[in-house]
Structure 1
Amino acid sequence: MIADNQALTLNALRVTDESLDRQVQTAALYGQAALDQLDMRISELAGPAQEAAVFVRIAVAIQMRTDDLGDLASKHVTEFTRAVREACWFYPVPNGLFNDDCSHVPALFEHGAAFTPLRLLAIELAGLRDVQSMLPQIKELVTEPASESVATLALTRLGAATAAMHSLAADCVTSGIDERCYAAMALIACDPRIADDGLLELALNLDPIIADQAWAIATSRDPRSAVDHAAARRDMPPAQRARIMAMAGYPDSIINACAEIAETEGEVTVSQADLLELTLGSIPVEARCVPNSKAEKSRALRTLVLRVFREAHIGLRNDADIDGWQVDSILAHPTQAKQVRLRDGRVLSLKVPPLGRAIQEVSHPLRQWLYIERATTAQRVFSLSAFDVARRQDTSMTAAEFVDAMVDR
């Protein structure tokens, strides 16, 4: 699936999702004839093609509101877990912007009463689709060993995290067991309030890959400290360090990143492109295309950086346009500039940063960080996934923009 390509953006995801939506809606118009054809194709195919057919079959069943969805999901959920999960997560296509029909999720929960895999899927879907009506049932299952982790995460996504979840997350982080550490990170990413400074510090000391979402929270809470901490970590993946610098948006970090890009052969990496897009608002053609000249790439980057800095009223040295990429040779007042943050080519001054235009153009990992930043700075649950269907991400961002506009008034 296109979501598996970490380099692609929400705009790219939207193209595929809209095409799938149209195909599912069209198939639903043909009724039982379409279902029969899909069943036949599932029996004939194998491998990824068969999995794709299962995805479409279940998506069409949800779109048509057929009575056989429970039996169909039970039949395929063990062998084609991802196909069943994502079809139930993404569909049906709503009739209006805020008319999201989730009635199939409680139905799957009831159908799975005697079939654990289906019931666990329904619990997960309740969190992913914000099915508040299922809160009582999920609360009852949170103490059962078979469903504890899934139910706990669903409750957190539903905004029903309890004080006990802090202790649970801390126990998971200190266990040293990767699976439990990942579970803790999932909880914390949905509701960063679970992680106080002590727990977050523990999480940051995990393997950087496991701690990825913890770094997003740390950067949201104290961007300058996160940038300095990341600079001292030799084991941190370059892409993760670039995400920290991008979200922080400090001029000195931007200059250092541009210095690295200017000295590197070829086009910018995904993480470098993300940094330029999120902080400066654009990526020079000379940096994006290959083959390219180091000199031309450096010149284009400098032109962009100086323009954005001047528009943001960041003091520059008189010879900033001809000297090297050292911070002191570009910034007139480096210490003062350390207090300035840039987002989408402008000074970032709001406590809760707007999601903004750039979120459409950055890769899946950085977009997920920006969702976590939203939850952290707003001090509330914002459990949107960068791998959710594009239309739902668009709707959530529209709602967030509306809230921002009301607050600004």
Structure 2
Amino acid sequence: MGPHSRRRPWGVLAGALAGFVAITWLVGWRQGFLWAIGVGYGLALAGAAFGFTTGWRVWITRRDAKGLWAQFAGIAVAMGLSVPLLATHPELSAANGPLSVSLLVGAFVFGAAMQVADGCGSGTLYKAGLGHPVSVAVLPAFVAGSFLGASHLPAWLALGALPPVNLVQALGAATTLVVQLGALALLAALLWWRSGQRRLGAAFASRWSGPAVWWAALALALLAVANLVVAGQPWGIVYGLGLWGAKLVQAVGVDLSGDAFWGQAAQQAQLRATVLTDNTSVTDLGLLWGALLAARWRGQGAPAVRLSARAWAASMLAGLVLGYSSRLAFGCNVGAYFSGIATGSLHGWIWFALAFAGSVVGVRLRRGLGLAD
């Protein structure tokens, strides 16, 4: 990397600092810190090419477990810090979701769609920040789908739902940590056994990603805990995207006061307020900026992509399905899987199982569309 490329990030870095100052001035310190946390998310994800979607696909297609192990490690660190905080500070909330028909359907469909779109919620955001053409096209579709999914969520819940189950409340902090850390360790061992990589050195030196993925997992875990402390709620992605869609619909003159979801008092208040007051929106915007900063720091331009018209259409349709299904499932790989398990929500484990099964189907669909593994 030459001197010119090393100078390029400073304007984007100045923009990140200006964003912190502006948001703090306009909304308050909490939102300013959430913007900074979001920038950190984007730097960690984009800097290490940390992909939930890719990690799952590499296991499905190559039996390379490193991506999943890194995710488990990040969840474990976040859990080890978050669970005691939740047990001792009732003002903090976990990423709880009801055990519903919508969870089962939404998680499975999301898992399949994210493989076709080559990104989950966080993956789509950070790749869009990097300027990846497919993710730039998928993001607006994701926003539209998240808006529609939230609008239809009450009808889906009417099909059947049990209350959320949080293990911290049901079992206590210590038992939750033992049970969940044991489950992650067991899964990690099973992946190692199934991978055929009997030497740990060979297993950790996987082919698709270097050591940066481990540092990214640690950074994401610590940032997620900071998110919980500052916002009072776990890291999430999809509510903010749905809110952007609702605000755009409202801006063109559509009255959402009678909508089953967006017409609720809390959502109406959010629609009347600036988007910067929404915790998830601020971290989403920061994530986009952090990814842009990572791209400029590395001197990385937008990659050239050659896809057939059918593949482009499938990717955008997958983006719409991603947004819709993530609302039915109460989160994506971040809000349901990472944050759900890290804060002791049973729905996070159910989401993971169904979404992974959906990803197996999604990988086959991806191959059928001529998209590279």
Confirm or deny a common fold (TM above 0.5): no
Largest Rg, 1 or 2: 1
Higher relative contact order (CA 8 A, sep 6+): 2
TM-score by length of 2: 0.23
> Which has more helix, going by share of residues?
2
User: Normalization by structure 1: what TM-score?
Assistant: 0.22
